[in-house]
Protein backbone atom coordinates (compact mmCIF):
# COMPACT_ATOMS: atom_id res chain seq x y z
CA UNK A 1 0.00 0.00 0.00
CA UNK A 2 2.81 2.36 1.00
CA UNK A 3 4.76 1.52 -2.17
CA UNK A 4 1.78 2.16 -4.40
CA UNK A 5 1.13 5.46 -2.65
CA UNK A 6 4.77 6.53 -3.04
CA UNK A 7 4.63 5.53 -6.70
CA UNK A 8 1.41 7.47 -7.15
CA UNK A 9 2.82 10.64 -5.64
CA UNK A 10 6.05 10.18 -7.67
CA UNK A 11 4.05 9.82 -10.86
CA UNK A 12 2.09 12.95 -10.02
CA UNK A 13 5.21 14.97 -9.25
CA UNK A 14 6.85 13.80 -12.46
CA UNK A 15 3.74 14.67 -14.47
CA UNK A 16 3.64 18.18 -13.01
CA UNK A 17 7.39 18.70 -13.62
CA UNK A 18 7.03 17.45 -17.19
CA UNK A 19 4.04 19.69 -17.76
CA UNK A 20 6.06 22.65 -16.55
CA UNK A 21 8.72 21.90 -19.22
CA UNK A 22 11.98 21.01 -17.40
CA UNK A 23 11.51 17.89 -15.38
CA UNK A 24 15.21 17.17 -15.08
CA UNK A 25 15.90 20.44 -13.23
CA UNK A 26 12.92 19.89 -10.96
CA UNK A 27 14.09 16.34 -10.28
CA UNK A 28 17.52 17.61 -9.39
CA UNK A 29 16.17 20.25 -6.99
CA UNK A 30 13.77 17.80 -5.37
CA UNK A 31 16.58 15.26 -5.07
CA UNK A 32 18.81 17.71 -3.24
CA UNK A 33 15.95 18.73 -0.93
CA UNK A 34 15.21 15.07 -0.18
CA UNK A 35 18.87 14.53 0.74
CA UNK A 36 18.66 17.55 3.03
CA UNK A 37 15.61 16.01 4.73
CA UNK A 38 17.48 12.73 5.21
CA UNK A 39 20.46 14.46 6.78
CA UNK A 40 18.45 16.92 8.91
CA UNK A 41 16.07 14.92 11.10
CA UNK A 42 14.73 18.02 12.83
CA UNK A 43 13.62 19.49 9.51
CA UNK A 44 11.92 16.27 8.52
CA UNK A 45 10.11 15.93 11.85
CA UNK A 46 9.03 19.56 11.75
CA UNK A 47 7.47 19.21 8.32
CA UNK A 48 5.82 15.95 9.31
CA UNK A 49 4.46 17.32 12.60
CA UNK A 50 0.72 17.61 12.07
CA UNK A 51 0.49 19.38 15.43
CA UNK A 52 1.98 22.43 13.77
CA UNK A 53 -0.35 24.55 11.64
CA UNK A 54 0.00 23.77 7.96
CA UNK A 55 0.63 27.45 7.20
CA UNK A 56 3.62 27.39 9.56
CA UNK A 57 5.09 24.33 7.86
CA UNK A 58 4.47 25.80 4.40
CA UNK A 59 6.16 28.97 5.57
CA UNK A 60 9.21 26.95 6.56
CA UNK A 61 9.29 25.45 3.05
CA UNK A 62 8.95 28.85 1.50
CA UNK A 63 11.78 30.20 3.66
CA UNK A 64 14.05 27.30 2.75
CA UNK A 65 13.34 26.93 -0.96
CA UNK A 66 11.65 30.08 -2.13
CA UNK A 67 14.69 31.89 -3.46
CA UNK A 68 16.86 28.83 -4.17
CA UNK A 69 14.73 26.63 -6.40
CA UNK A 70 12.08 26.96 -9.01
CA UNK A 71 8.53 27.77 -8.05
CA UNK A 72 7.43 24.38 -9.39
CA UNK A 73 9.77 22.61 -6.98
CA UNK A 74 8.52 24.68 -4.02
CA UNK A 75 4.92 24.06 -5.05
CA UNK A 76 5.47 20.29 -5.33
CA UNK A 77 7.11 20.10 -1.90
CA UNK A 78 4.31 22.17 -0.42
CA UNK A 79 1.76 19.89 -2.05
CA UNK A 80 3.30 16.75 -0.55
CA UNK A 81 3.66 18.34 2.91
CA UNK A 82 0.14 19.72 2.70
CA UNK A 83 -1.12 16.21 1.93
CA UNK A 84 0.48 15.00 5.21
CA UNK A 85 3.14 12.91 3.46
CA UNK A 86 6.24 14.84 4.50
CA UNK A 87 7.75 11.76 6.14
CA UNK A 88 7.55 9.93 2.82
CA UNK A 89 8.86 12.82 0.74
CA UNK A 90 12.43 11.42 0.32
CA UNK A 91 11.08 8.09 -0.94
CA UNK A 92 8.60 9.90 -3.22
CA UNK A 93 11.40 12.00 -4.67
CA UNK A 94 13.62 8.93 -5.20
CA UNK A 95 10.78 7.23 -7.03
CA UNK A 96 10.12 10.37 -9.07
CA UNK A 97 13.81 10.62 -10.06
CA UNK A 98 13.80 6.97 -11.05
CA UNK A 99 10.60 7.59 -13.00
CA UNK A 100 12.14 10.58 -14.82
CA UNK A 101 15.33 8.70 -15.68
CA UNK A 102 13.31 5.79 -16.91
CA UNK A 103 11.32 8.13 -19.13
CA UNK A 104 14.64 9.05 -20.70
CA UNK A 105 15.75 5.44 -20.88
CA UNK A 106 18.35 5.94 -18.18
CA UNK A 107 19.20 4.69 -14.72
CA UNK A 108 19.87 6.83 -11.66
CA UNK A 109 23.39 6.63 -10.27
CA UNK A 110 23.52 8.05 -6.75
CA UNK A 111 26.96 9.48 -6.14
CA UNK A 112 28.11 10.26 -2.60
CA UNK A 113 30.98 12.63 -2.25
CA UNK A 114 32.36 15.01 0.37
CA UNK A 115 32.26 17.79 -2.15
CA UNK A 116 30.04 18.50 -5.09
CA UNK A 117 31.09 17.27 -8.50
CA UNK A 118 31.55 19.67 -11.33
CA UNK A 119 29.40 19.26 -14.43
CA UNK A 120 32.39 17.93 -16.29
CA UNK A 121 33.11 15.41 -13.57
CA UNK A 122 29.45 14.30 -13.58
CA UNK A 123 29.47 13.80 -17.33
CA UNK A 124 32.77 11.93 -17.28
CA UNK A 125 31.55 9.77 -14.39
CA UNK A 126 28.35 8.94 -16.27
CA UNK A 127 30.42 8.02 -19.29
CA UNK A 128 32.77 5.92 -17.18
CA UNK A 129 29.85 4.06 -15.59
CA UNK A 130 28.41 3.51 -19.03
CA UNK A 131 31.72 2.14 -20.15
CA UNK A 132 32.00 -0.17 -17.15
CA UNK A 133 28.42 -1.38 -16.79
CA UNK A 134 26.93 -0.71 -20.22
CA UNK A 135 24.10 1.22 -18.62
CA UNK A 136 23.22 4.83 -19.48
CA UNK A 137 22.93 6.68 -16.18
CA UNK A 138 21.99 10.04 -14.73
CA UNK A 139 24.27 11.11 -11.92
CA UNK A 140 22.62 12.44 -8.74
CA UNK A 141 25.20 13.79 -6.30
CA UNK A 142 24.68 13.53 -2.55
CA UNK A 143 27.03 15.55 -0.37
CA UNK A 144 28.17 13.20 2.40
CA UNK A 145 31.05 14.42 4.60
CA UNK A 146 31.46 10.92 6.07
CA UNK A 147 32.96 9.85 2.75
CA UNK A 148 35.93 12.13 3.57
CA UNK A 149 37.23 12.01 0.00
CA UNK A 150 36.63 10.23 -3.27
CA UNK A 151 33.23 8.93 -4.47
CA UNK A 152 30.77 6.15 -3.69
CA UNK A 153 28.43 5.30 -6.56
CA UNK A 154 25.23 3.32 -6.10
CA UNK A 155 23.42 2.01 -9.18
CA UNK A 156 20.54 -0.08 -7.99
CA UNK A 157 22.08 -2.79 -5.87
CA UNK A 158 25.58 -2.25 -7.27
CA UNK A 159 28.06 -0.16 -5.27
CA UNK A 160 31.38 1.19 -6.55
CA UNK A 161 33.21 2.46 -3.47
CA UNK A 162 36.29 4.65 -4.14
CA UNK A 163 36.10 6.67 -0.93
CA UNK A 164 38.85 7.53 1.53
CA UNK A 165 36.53 6.20 4.23
CA UNK A 166 36.64 2.74 2.68
CA UNK A 167 40.39 2.79 2.56
CA UNK A 168 40.59 3.81 6.19
CA UNK A 169 38.18 1.01 7.08
CA UNK A 170 40.33 -1.43 5.16
CA UNK A 171 43.32 -0.18 7.09
CA UNK A 172 41.36 -0.60 10.35
CA UNK A 173 40.46 -4.17 9.42
CA UNK A 174 44.10 -4.93 8.61
CA UNK A 175 45.04 -3.98 12.17
CA UNK A 176 42.73 -6.61 13.62
CA UNK B 1 -8.11 -101.17 93.39
CA UNK B 2 -7.44 -104.16 95.53
CA UNK B 3 -4.73 -102.35 97.41
CA UNK B 4 -7.13 -99.58 98.17
CA UNK B 5 -9.73 -102.04 99.59
CA UNK B 6 -7.04 -103.69 101.69
CA UNK B 7 -6.16 -100.34 103.13
CA UNK B 8 -9.83 -99.61 103.79
CA UNK B 9 -10.24 -102.89 105.65
CA UNK B 10 -7.02 -102.48 107.58
CA UNK B 11 -8.11 -99.12 108.90
CA UNK B 12 -10.93 -100.39 111.19
CA UNK B 13 -8.81 -103.31 112.39
CA UNK B 14 -6.06 -100.95 113.39
CA UNK B 15 -8.63 -98.79 115.13
CA UNK B 16 -9.94 -101.83 117.02
CA UNK B 17 -6.44 -102.88 118.11
CA UNK B 18 -5.73 -99.35 119.25
CA UNK B 19 -8.92 -99.37 121.24
CA UNK B 20 -7.96 -102.61 122.91
CA UNK B 21 -4.38 -101.56 123.52
CA UNK B 22 -5.05 -98.16 124.95
CA UNK B 23 -8.26 -98.78 126.78
CA UNK B 24 -8.14 -97.43 130.30
CA UNK B 25 -9.17 -99.30 133.48
CA UNK B 26 -12.83 -99.54 133.75
CA UNK B 27 -15.00 -100.54 136.66
CA UNK B 28 -16.83 -103.77 136.39
CA UNK B 29 -20.00 -103.34 134.56
CA UNK B 30 -23.04 -104.04 136.64
CA UNK B 31 -20.86 -104.77 139.70
CA UNK B 32 -20.12 -102.25 142.54
CA UNK B 33 -16.91 -102.11 144.54
CA UNK B 34 -18.79 -102.86 147.73
CA UNK B 35 -20.42 -105.99 146.38
CA UNK B 36 -17.04 -107.13 145.07
CA UNK B 37 -15.42 -106.61 148.39
CA UNK B 38 -18.33 -108.33 150.12
CA UNK B 39 -17.94 -111.24 147.76
CA UNK B 40 -14.23 -111.45 148.56
CA UNK B 41 -14.94 -111.19 152.23
CA UNK B 42 -17.41 -114.04 152.03
CA UNK B 43 -14.80 -116.08 150.24
CA UNK B 44 -12.39 -115.39 153.13
CA UNK B 45 -15.00 -116.28 155.71
CA UNK B 46 -15.66 -119.52 153.93
CA UNK B 47 -11.94 -120.25 153.91
CA UNK B 48 -11.86 -119.53 157.66
CA UNK B 49 -14.81 -121.80 158.13
CA UNK B 50 -17.12 -119.10 159.22
CA UNK B 51 -14.92 -117.49 161.75
CA UNK B 52 -15.44 -113.79 161.29
CA UNK B 53 -13.23 -112.83 164.15
CA UNK B 54 -10.30 -114.61 162.64
CA UNK B 55 -10.85 -113.01 159.36
CA UNK B 56 -10.94 -109.57 160.80
CA UNK B 57 -7.85 -110.33 162.83
CA UNK B 58 -6.04 -111.46 159.72
CA UNK B 59 -7.13 -108.37 157.88
CA UNK B 60 -5.90 -106.29 160.74
CA UNK B 61 -2.58 -108.16 160.99
CA UNK B 62 -2.02 -108.81 157.39
CA UNK B 63 -2.72 -105.55 155.52
CA UNK B 64 -1.81 -107.17 152.29
CA UNK B 65 -5.14 -108.95 152.36
CA UNK B 66 -6.93 -105.62 152.33
CA UNK B 67 -4.75 -104.43 149.56
CA UNK B 68 -5.63 -107.57 147.69
CA UNK B 69 -9.34 -106.77 148.14
CA UNK B 70 -8.90 -103.26 146.91
CA UNK B 71 -6.82 -104.39 144.01
CA UNK B 72 -9.28 -107.06 142.83
CA UNK B 73 -12.43 -105.01 143.38
CA UNK B 74 -11.47 -101.51 142.50
CA UNK B 75 -9.59 -102.39 139.28
CA UNK B 76 -11.43 -103.90 136.30
CA UNK B 77 -11.05 -107.50 135.75
CA UNK B 78 -9.57 -106.84 132.18
CA UNK B 79 -7.68 -103.73 131.47
CA UNK B 80 -7.89 -104.33 127.69
CA UNK B 81 -11.21 -105.66 126.62
CA UNK B 82 -14.26 -103.48 127.03
CA UNK B 83 -17.52 -104.81 127.97
CA UNK B 84 -19.30 -106.93 125.44
CA UNK B 85 -22.20 -104.58 124.95
CA UNK B 86 -19.76 -101.71 124.29
CA UNK B 87 -18.06 -103.81 121.70
CA UNK B 88 -21.40 -104.59 120.08
CA UNK B 89 -22.64 -101.05 120.08
CA UNK B 90 -19.35 -99.57 119.11
CA UNK B 91 -18.78 -102.14 116.39
CA UNK B 92 -22.30 -101.62 115.04
CA UNK B 93 -21.84 -97.87 114.98
CA UNK B 94 -18.47 -98.29 113.39
CA UNK B 95 -19.83 -100.61 110.74
CA UNK B 96 -22.70 -98.27 110.00
CA UNK B 97 -20.36 -95.37 109.79
CA UNK B 98 -17.96 -97.42 107.71
CA UNK B 99 -20.68 -98.48 105.30
CA UNK B 100 -21.89 -94.92 105.02
CA UNK B 101 -18.39 -93.77 104.42
CA UNK B 102 -17.79 -96.47 101.79
CA UNK B 103 -21.10 -95.91 100.03
CA UNK B 104 -21.48 -92.16 100.32
CA UNK B 105 -18.52 -90.40 101.78
CA UNK B 106 -15.72 -92.12 100.01
CA UNK B 107 -17.11 -91.59 96.44
CA UNK B 108 -17.66 -87.93 97.23
CA UNK B 109 -14.24 -87.60 98.74
CA UNK B 110 -12.77 -89.61 95.91
CA UNK B 111 -14.60 -87.40 93.35
CA UNK B 112 -13.40 -84.31 95.10
CA UNK B 113 -9.90 -85.71 95.31
CA UNK B 114 -10.02 -86.74 91.66
CA UNK B 115 -11.35 -83.33 90.67
CA UNK B 116 -8.73 -81.71 92.83
CA UNK B 117 -6.03 -83.92 91.33
CA UNK B 118 -7.36 -83.29 87.88
CA UNK B 119 -7.41 -79.57 88.55
CA UNK B 120 -3.90 -79.69 89.92
CA UNK B 121 -2.83 -81.75 86.90
CA UNK B 122 -4.56 -79.30 84.60
CA UNK B 123 -2.94 -76.41 86.41
CA UNK B 124 0.39 -78.15 86.17
CA UNK B 125 -0.19 -78.77 82.49
CA UNK B 126 -1.24 -75.16 82.00
CA UNK B 127 1.76 -74.02 83.98
CA UNK B 128 3.96 -76.27 81.91
CA UNK B 129 2.34 -74.99 78.74
CA UNK B 130 2.75 -71.44 79.97
CA UNK B 131 6.34 -72.19 80.79
CA UNK B 132 6.84 -73.71 77.36
CA UNK B 133 5.09 -70.75 75.78
CA UNK B 134 7.14 -68.34 77.81
CA UNK B 135 10.26 -70.20 76.87
CA UNK B 136 9.17 -70.11 73.24
CA UNK B 137 8.47 -66.42 73.49
CA UNK B 138 11.79 -65.91 75.19
CA UNK B 139 13.52 -67.95 72.51
CA UNK B 140 11.70 -66.03 69.83
CA UNK B 141 12.52 -62.76 71.52
CA UNK B 142 16.14 -63.74 71.88
CA UNK B 143 16.20 -64.84 68.25
CA UNK B 144 14.62 -61.58 67.16
CA UNK B 145 16.99 -59.67 69.38
CA UNK B 146 19.87 -61.53 67.84
CA UNK B 147 18.47 -60.81 64.38
CA UNK B 148 18.02 -57.17 65.31
CA UNK B 149 21.57 -57.00 66.56
CA UNK B 150 22.78 -58.69 63.40
CA UNK B 151 20.71 -56.39 61.25
CA UNK B 152 21.87 -53.34 63.17
CA UNK B 153 25.44 -54.45 62.79
CA UNK B 154 24.84 -55.04 59.11
CA UNK B 155 23.25 -51.63 58.74
CA UNK B 156 26.14 -50.02 60.53
CA UNK B 157 28.58 -51.83 58.27
CA UNK B 158 26.60 -50.83 55.19
CA UNK B 159 26.39 -47.23 56.40
CA UNK B 160 30.11 -47.23 57.02
CA UNK B 161 30.76 -48.63 53.55
CA UNK B 162 28.36 -46.11 52.02
CA UNK B 163 30.00 -43.29 53.95
CA UNK B 164 33.42 -44.40 52.79
CA UNK B 165 32.12 -44.67 49.24
CA UNK B 166 30.50 -41.25 49.47
CA UNK B 167 33.65 -39.78 50.92
CA UNK B 168 35.65 -41.27 48.09
CA UNK B 169 33.17 -40.08 45.50
CA UNK B 170 33.12 -36.60 46.97
CA UNK B 171 36.88 -36.48 47.03
CA UNK B 172 37.02 -37.69 43.45
CA UNK B 173 34.30 -35.26 42.40
CA UNK B 174 36.10 -32.47 44.19
CA UNK B 175 39.30 -33.32 42.36
CA UNK B 176 37.44 -33.38 39.06
CA UNK B 177 35.78 -30.06 39.89
CA UNK B 178 39.09 -28.55 40.88
CA UNK B 179 40.64 -29.76 37.63
CA UNK B 180 37.73 -28.37 35.64
CA UNK B 181 37.90 -25.08 37.51
CA UNK B 182 41.62 -24.88 36.85
CA UNK B 183 41.02 -25.64 33.21
CA UNK B 184 38.25 -23.07 32.99
CA UNK B 185 40.39 -20.56 34.81
CA UNK B 186 43.22 -21.21 32.39
CA UNK B 187 40.86 -20.83 29.45
CA UNK B 188 39.41 -17.67 30.96
CA UNK B 189 42.86 -16.27 31.58
CA UNK B 190 43.91 -17.08 28.03
CA UNK B 191 40.66 -15.62 26.68
CA UNK B 192 41.06 -12.53 28.80
CA UNK B 193 44.66 -12.18 27.67
CA UNK B 194 43.65 -12.56 24.03
CA UNK B 195 40.79 -10.13 24.53
CA UNK B 196 43.09 -7.66 26.25
CA UNK B 197 45.56 -7.94 23.39
CA UNK B 198 42.77 -7.51 20.85
CA UNK B 199 41.38 -4.57 22.77
CA UNK B 200 44.81 -3.02 23.00
CA UNK B 201 45.43 -3.62 19.33
CA UNK B 202 42.03 -2.16 18.46
CA UNK B 203 42.66 0.76 20.73
CA UNK B 204 46.07 1.38 19.16
CA UNK B 205 44.57 0.97 15.71
CA UNK B 206 41.77 3.36 16.60
CA UNK B 207 44.22 5.93 17.86
CA UNK B 208 46.42 5.48 14.82
CA UNK B 209 43.46 5.59 12.45
CA UNK B 210 42.03 8.60 14.21
CA UNK B 211 45.32 10.36 13.81
CA UNK B 212 45.54 9.24 10.18
CA UNK B 213 41.97 10.38 9.56
CA UNK B 214 42.69 13.78 11.03
CA UNK B 215 45.80 14.06 8.88
CA UNK B 216 43.91 12.93 5.79
CA UNK B 217 41.01 15.23 6.55
CA UNK B 218 43.36 18.15 6.99
CA UNK B 219 45.08 17.35 3.73
CA UNK B 220 41.83 16.96 1.76
CA UNK B 221 41.52 20.43 0.32
CA UNK B 222 39.49 21.20 -2.77
CA UNK B 223 42.31 20.38 -5.14
CA UNK B 224 42.96 17.00 -3.51
CA UNK B 225 39.25 16.24 -3.48
CA UNK B 226 39.00 17.05 -7.16
CA UNK B 227 41.99 14.86 -7.94
CA UNK B 228 40.47 12.01 -5.90
CA UNK B 229 37.24 12.31 -7.87
CA UNK B 230 39.08 12.36 -11.15
CA UNK B 231 41.10 9.34 -10.08
CA UNK B 232 37.89 7.56 -9.17
CA UNK B 233 36.36 8.37 -12.56
CA UNK B 234 39.42 7.05 -14.29
CA UNK B 235 39.30 3.92 -12.10
CA UNK B 236 35.64 3.29 -12.94
CA UNK B 237 36.36 3.84 -16.59
CA UNK B 238 39.30 1.46 -16.34
CA UNK B 239 41.75 3.99 -17.72
CA UNK B 240 43.84 4.41 -14.57
CA UNK B 241 46.47 2.16 -15.95
DSSP A61-111: HHHHHTTTS-HHHHHHHHHHHHTT-GGGHHHHHHHHHHHHHHHTT-EEEEE
Q: Which positions ≥6 away from A28 have C-beta within 8 Å?
A: A140
Listed in sequence order, the residues at least 6 apart from A5 whose beta carbon sits closer than 8 Å to its beta carbon are A85, A88
A133 — pLDDT class (breaks 50, 70, 90):
confident
Radius of gyration of chain A (CA): 17
Crossing angle of helices B84-100 and B2-21, in 10° steps, is 150
Least Cα separation, residue B185 to chain A (angstroms): 25
B152-157 mean pLDDT: 93
3-class DSSP state of A69: coil
Give the distance from residue B201's alpha carbon to the nearest chain A alpha carbon, in angstroms.
Answer: 7
Instruction: Report the percent of chain B where pLDDT is more than 70.
Output: 79
Q: What are the residues whose beta carbons fall under 8 Å from the beta carbon of A22, sequence distance 6 or more?
A: A70
The string of pLDDT tens digits covering residues B189-227 is: 999 999 998 888 888 888 888 888 888 888 888 888 999
Q: What is the pLDDT of residue A59?
A: 92
Interface residues from chain B to A (CB-CB < 8 Å) = 198, 201-202, 204-206, 208-209, 212-213, 216-217, 220, 222, 224-226, 228-238
Cβ-nearest to B205 among A129, A160, A175: A175
Beta strand A107-113 pairing with A158-163: unpaired
Q: pLDDT value at position B73?
A: 67
Q: How high is the pLDDT of residue B41?
A: 76
Binary contact (A127, B224; C-beta < 8 A): no
Question: Rounded to 10 degrees, what is the CA torsion of B170, B171, B173, B175?
Answer: 160
The per-residue pLDDT for range A44-54, each reduced to its tens digit, is 899 989 888 99
The predicted pLDDT at position A50 comes to 86
Q: What CA–CA distances, in Å, run from B17 to A128, B22, B23, B94? A: 178, 8, 10, 14
Higher pLDDT, B79 or A79: A79
pLDDT of residue B237: 85
* Separation between Cα atoms, residue A176 and residue B203, nearest integer Å: 10
Find the range with the poorest average confidence among A100-104, B60-64, B192-196. B60-64
Q: pTM above 0.80?
A: no
Q: Which of B37-51, B64-78, B177-191 has the highest mean pLDDT?
A: B177-191
pLDDT, residue B239, reads 61
Mean pLDDT for A161-169 is 89
Q: In this complex, which of B213, B224, B236 lies closest to A129 when CB atoms are compared?
A: B236
User: B17 or B140, which is more confident?
Assistant: B140
Position A20 scores a pLDDT of: 87
pLDDT at residue B32, rounded to an integer: 64
pLDDT digits (tens, 9 = 90+) for B102-122: 888 888 888 888 999 999 999
Q: Which of B30-34, B132-136, B192-196, B224-228 has the lowest mean pLDDT?
A: B30-34
Which helix (H) or strand (E) is A112 found in, with range?
Answer: strand A107-113
Write down the mean pLDDT value for chain B.
82
With 70 as the cut, is the pLDDT of residue B240 above it?
Answer: no
Nearest to A151 among B202, B208, B232 (CB): B232
Nearest CA in chain B to A112: B229
Of the candidate ranges A79-83, B48-52, B182-186, B228-232, the one whose mean pLDDT is the lowest:
B48-52
- According to DSSP, the residues that pair with A152 across neighbouring strands are A112, A161
Give the residues across from A142 on adjacent strands: A112
8 Å CB contact between A109 and A139: yes
Answer yes or no: is pLDDT of A74 > 50: yes
Residue B52 pLDDT level (bands cut at 50, 70, 90) = confident
Q: Which residues of A touch B198 (CB under 8 A)?
A: 176
User: Which pLDDT value is given to residue B75?
Assistant: 58
For chain A, give the percent of residues with pLDDT over 70: 98
- Structure confidence at residue A79 (pLDDT): 93
- Report the pLDDT value the prediction gives residue B29, as an integer from 0 to 100: 45
Cα separation, B31 vs A125, in Å, equals 199
**What value does the mean pLDDT take over residues A77-104?**
91
> Do A53 and A6 touch, CB atoms closer than 8 A?
no
**Residue B26 pLDDT class (50, 70, 90 cuts):** very low
Count of residues making up chain B? 241
Least confident of A11-25, B131-145, B150-164, B195-209: B195-209
Instruction: Say how many C-beta atoms besides its own lie within 10 A of residue B117's C-beta.
Output: 11
pLDDT at B27 over 70: no
Amino acid sequence: MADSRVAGYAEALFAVAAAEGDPSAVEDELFRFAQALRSDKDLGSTLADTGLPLARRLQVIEDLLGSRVSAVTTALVSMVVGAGRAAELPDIVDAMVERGAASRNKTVATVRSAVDLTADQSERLAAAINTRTGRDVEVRVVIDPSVLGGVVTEIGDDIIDGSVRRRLNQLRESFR
Amino acid sequence: MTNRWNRLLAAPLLALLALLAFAGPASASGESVGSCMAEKLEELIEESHGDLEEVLHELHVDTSIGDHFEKNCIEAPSPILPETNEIIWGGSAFLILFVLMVKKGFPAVRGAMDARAEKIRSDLDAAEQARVDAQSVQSDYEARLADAKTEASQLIDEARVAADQLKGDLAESAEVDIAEMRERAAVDIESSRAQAIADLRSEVAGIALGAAERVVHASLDAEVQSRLIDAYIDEVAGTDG
